[in-house]
Amino acid sequence: MFPTGSSIVFAAVPNDDFITFLSEISGKPVPMKYRRQRGQLVDAMLDAHFHIGGRKLAIGAEPDLLFDVSSMLHEMGAKVAVAVTTTESPVLARVATDDVLIGDLEDLETLSKERGCDLMITIPMVGKGPNVEDPFLSYGLPMFDRLERTSSFVGYRGTRI
C-alpha cells in the first residue's frame, strides 16, 4: 500500500501497518490526508538526517517510547549512546543501543555527560533542568515545560518530534 524505497522510512512502517489494518477492517481506502502526512514524515526525516546523522544521543523514557524514539533517530543515522528507562520490558531487547539501564533522570544526565552525548531527550525535569550548556529536547508525557504541545503522539503526525 505504501512503497518504501529507502531505509529512511523505517519509522513510517509501524504506522503503515496500523493505517493498512484500519483500511482493511473498514473496507475503505486510506484517505489522502494520511498519505500526505506520511509524505511529510518521510520528508522531515530526510531533512533531519543531515543534522542528526552521526550524533550521539542520550534518551530517557518509558520502554515503549524509548524504543519508538530511538528507532526513528537511529534510522536517521544517530547513535543512541545512552538509553535509560524506568522498568523492564520485552521491547527493550529491540532498542538499537549497546545497553539499556533501568534508572532515573539523574542516571541519564550523568551518563550523557560521561559519554559525551550531543543531545539529551527525555521528559521535562520538574524543579531542575539540564545544565544550560547541555542540549536538551523535552519529549513524552507529562509535558511540564510547554503549553502548546497538543499534537498527537499517534500516527504519522505523532511520530514527528
3-state SS, residue 125: coil
32, three cell numbers: 489522502
DSSP 154: S
pLDDT at position 63, please?
92
Give the residue carrying C-alpha cell 504541545.
149
> Do the bridges between strand 119-122 and strand 136-138 make them parallel or antiparallel, or are there none, so unpaired?
parallel
> Which contacts of 96-104 are long-range, i.e. CB under 8 A and separated by 24 or more positions?
96/70, 96/71, 97/70, 100/66
What does the alpha-carbon distance between residue 110 and residue 89 come to, in Å, rounded to a whole number? Answer: 23
Lowest-confidence pick of 19-23, 28-32, 61-65, 152-156:
152-156
Residue 46: pLDDT band with limits 50, 70, 90: confident
What is this structure's pTM? Answer: 0.72
- Convert the pLDDT of each residue in 48-82 to its tens digit: 888 888 999 999 999 988 998 888 888 888 999 99
Residue 12: pLDDT band with limits 50, 70, 90: low
Residue 156: pLDDT band with limits 50, 70, 90: low
Average pLDDT, the chain: 79
Lowest-confidence pick of 30-34, 97-101, 144-148:
144-148
